[in-house]
């Protein structure tokens, strides 16, 4: 299949259509309109086959995750997503695979009212690069650097499920029944916490999404904000699926170090703590307080009950070059 036939058949006419897209797919550039009194947030992520997703992963899950990880970055900034561009590299065109990929792409963009406005297709090793753009009211963006000693540390949802799901798929963890399906789906289909991100504007002092593991990503906040933290591992939110699949200590290790959960870690001051529950009420997402920031710069201390806790791994995923 020729490049422009591929674009015309699969990408030109499908998906959600927004009124703020003046020119979409088909010209040298897309032309869009940023609403008045809004800032533009932009993020780019690349997913490479065999690195960010398994080579035999379902095409729908590959597309879903490709979009979700970018929307998760926007959510961590408090941005409302609007547009994405996709650069797609494929070693060959398998039409069944590509049709399933497009279904997954459009399912998620439809749900979040996001329009695909352009990109590129090339022949090469399998990879997908998305640039996602969204809107933030001036002065309400969330960053990693705004936290202060005394702020409370929260996480959304449950942790460790995606990492356990990956181990199941790689045959290093044996789980049967419903828990197996739940954990695998959490790996294949992460949920970007967009509604939570917008709800945290002007309430959270800092925020980041969990892509590389709780310890790794929390350390980004501590480094940027010049704070330390005391985290209680027995407060980490764990799903029924993971606690039925592994023992408690193993579940805690997954929650601390496994990546790909795409939940949010955020900090809230004592003064705003009372407003948090009200702000999150409409999102239907639970946030759990797991500790508090300290004045000891970048010092992350873990506790289980009253005793210090030493994790088996002190950091999450990191690329080696």
- What does DSSP say about strands 39-48 and 31-32: parallel, antiparallel, or unpaired? unpaired
* C-alpha distances out from residue 241 to 83, 162, 268, Å: 34, 11, 29
Task: Name the DSSP letter for residue 175.
Answer: -
- Quote the CA–CA distance of 84 and 132 in Å, as a whole number: 4
Q: Is 103 known as a binding-site position?
A: no
232 membership: H or E segment, kind and range: strand 228-232
Q: Is 119 known as a binding-site position?
A: yes
Q: Is 191 known as a binding-site position?
A: no
Q: Is 28 known as a binding-site position?
A: yes
Q: Is 314 known as a binding-site position?
A: no
Q: Is 27 known as a binding-site position?
A: no
Q: Is 44 known as a binding-site position?
A: yes
226: its two tokens: 């010049």
Q: Is 260 known as a binding-site position?
A: yes
Can you list the alpha helix ranges (DSSP code H) found in the chain?
3-10, 59-76, 95-111, 161-169, 178-188, 194-199, 214-225, 240-245, 248-257, 273-280
User: Looking up tokens 């990693």, which residue turns up?
Assistant: 144
Length of the chain: 321
Q: Is 45 known as a binding-site position?
A: yes
Which residues, at least 6 apart from 69, have a Cβ–Cβ distance to it below 8 Å? 45, 47, 190, 192, 211, 262
Q: Is 211 known as a binding-site position?
A: yes
Annotated binding site: 28, 43-45, 52, 73, 119-120, 144, 209, 211-212, 260, 317
Q: What residue numbers does the annotated binding site for ATP cover? A: 119-120, 144, 211
Which residue ranges make up the annotated binding site for substrate? 52, 260, 317
Task: List the binding residues for Mg(2+).
Answer: 28, 43-45, 73, 120, 209, 212
């Amino acid at each position: 299949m020729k490049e422009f036939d591929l674009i015309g058949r699969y990408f030109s006419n499908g998906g959600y259509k927004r009124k703020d897209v003046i020119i979409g797919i088909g010209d040298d550039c897309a032309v869009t309109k940023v609403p008045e009194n809004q800032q533009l947030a932009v993020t780019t992520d690349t997913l490479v086959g065999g690195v960010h997703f398994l080579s035999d992963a379902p095409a729908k899950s590959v597309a879903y995750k490709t979009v979700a990880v970018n929307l998760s970055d926007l959510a961590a900034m408090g941005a409302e997503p609007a547009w994405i561009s996709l650069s797609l590299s494929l070693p060959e065109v398998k039409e069944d695979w590509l049709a399933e990929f497009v279904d997954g792409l459009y399912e998620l963009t439809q749900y979040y009212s996001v329009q695909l406005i352009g990109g590129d297709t090339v022949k090469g090793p399998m990879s997908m690069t998305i640039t996602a753009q969204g809107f933030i009211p001036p002065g309400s963006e969330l960053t990693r650097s705004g936290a202060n000693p005394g702020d409370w540390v929260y996480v959304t949802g449950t942790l460790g499920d995606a990492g356990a799901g990956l181990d199941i798929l790689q045959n290093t963890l044996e789980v049967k029944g419903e828990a197996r399906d739940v954990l695998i789906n959490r790996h294949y289909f992460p949920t970007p916490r967009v509604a939570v991100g917008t709800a945290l504007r002007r309430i959270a002092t800092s925020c980041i999404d969990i892509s590389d593991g709780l310890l790794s990503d929390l350390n980004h906040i501590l480094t940027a904000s010049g704070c330390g933290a005391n985290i209680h591992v027995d407060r980490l939110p764990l799903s029924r699926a993971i606690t039925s699949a592994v023992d408690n200590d193993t579940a805690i290790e997954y929650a601390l170090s496994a990546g790909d959960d795409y939940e949010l870690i955020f900090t809230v001051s004592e003064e705003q703590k009372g407003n948090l529950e009200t702000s999150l009420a409409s999102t239907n997402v639970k946030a759990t307080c797991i500790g508090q920031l300290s004045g000891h710069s970048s010092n992350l201390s873990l506790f289980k009950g009253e005793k210090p806790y030493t994790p088996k791994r002190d950091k999450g995923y990191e690329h080696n070059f």
